[in-house]
Amino acid sequence: MSRAKVVWVDTDRLQQMLPPAGVGIKMEPIRLCAACYIESPCHKIEWQFKVAQGCPHHNLSLLSECPNCGARFKVPAFWVDAWCQRCFTPFGKMVERQKII
């Protein structure tokens, strides 16, 4: 088992974190499945794939802005409180505003 020297993560795990070959990543806007986030509070790279049309686990659209105030989501490092940085609407309340796909 080899490890990347900078981040100390197994190289196999790092490869799993990358998108599949030929799939691009959309860096902006930051997207979110609020239903996933309340189950497991972390940003999923799959939400940023250019081919992502929604959350396949919940069959819901991905949000790119707060449905309450319209503010675009900040980088996931700021999501520790799991709410909109502008109006403080909790991510859990946003689930009801996600459209079924």
Distance CA 87, CA 12 (A): 40
Confirm if 10 and 2 have CB atoms less than 8 A apart: yes
Higher pLDDT, 89 or 3: 89
pLDDT at 3 over 70: no
Residue 34 CB-density burial (10 A; 0-12 exposed, 13-18 middle, 19+ buried):
buried
Q: What is the pTM of this model?
A: 0.80
N-to-C CA span, the chain: 41
pLDDT in tens, 67-82: 999 999 999 988 989 9
Confirm if 35 and 55 have CB atoms less than 8 A apart: yes
